[in-house]
Amino acid sequence: MLALARWQPRKSQLFPAEIPFWVRVLGVPMEFRTRPNFESIGDALGRTVSVDLDHSRVQVVVDAFQQLCFETTVEFKGGEFYDGEEAAISLRYEKLFGYCPICSSLCHKEEKCPLAKPEVKMSPERKRETREGNGGWHEGGKHDDRARS
C-alpha cells in the first residue's frame, strides 16, 4: 500500500494510519438506498467523508491498522417489504492493493501473515524424487513408454 499526501508544514499525527477509500456497497435493497443508510454503513467502517448514491458507494477514511470488512449484515427497519429484516451486503474497496486476504489486514501481505499455515519445506533430494515421479526425464520413466508406442 502506498499512501500519498500533499505536503504541509505540519503533517497530521495520524497520516500513515488513515487511508481514504471509496467503498462500493452491494446488496442494499432499492428502497433503502438513502444518504442516511449509506452514512451509517460508512460510519461502521470508519469516518464517512462522502456518499455517492448514483454508484452505490461511500467514501470513508479507515484506520490502516485495523482489519477491513468485506461482508456484513445490516438491519433495515421500515419499508414496504423489509419490516425489521436483515440483509447481507458486500463491500468492495476501490483501488485496494497489497492487503492480506487471510486476515484482511493492510499491514502485511499473505506471505507474512501470522495466521497463515506454515508450508512444509522439502529437502532438495525429496524435490528431485517428486519431480522424477511426475514423469521427468529419467530412465524407466513414462516418456520411454510414449516413445515406444
Longest dimension (CA), the chain: 78
- What is the pLDDT, as a whole number, of residue 92? 93
* CA dihedral sign of residues 38, 1, 64, 67: positive
Q: Per the structure, how many domains does the chain have? A: 2
β partners of residue 34: none
- What is the pLDDT, as a whole number, of residue 136? 46
Low-confidence ranges of the chain (pLDDT < 50): 135-149
Say yes or no: 81 and 148 in one domain: no
- Residue 79 domain boundaries: 18-112
- What is the pLDDT, as a whole number, of residue 42? 92
Say yes or no: 94 and 141 in one domain: no
Say yes or no: 93 and 73 in one domain: yes
- What is the pLDDT, as a whole number, of residue 26? 93
Say yes or no: 105 and 123 in one domain: no
Say yes or no: 37 and 73 in one domain: yes
- What is the pLDDT, as a whole number, of residue 79? 56
- What is the pLDDT, as a whole number, of residue 17? 77
Say yes or no: 98 and 28 in one domain: yes
Q: In Å, what is the CA distance from 25 to each residue of 36, 129, 147?
A: 14, 50, 58
Residues 6+ apart with CB under 8 A from 101: 110
Is 11 a member of any domain? no
- What is the pLDDT, as a whole number, of residue 138? 46
The H-assigned helical ranges of 13-72 are 35-45
Is 141 a member of any domain? yes
Say yes or no: 123 and 100 in one domain: no
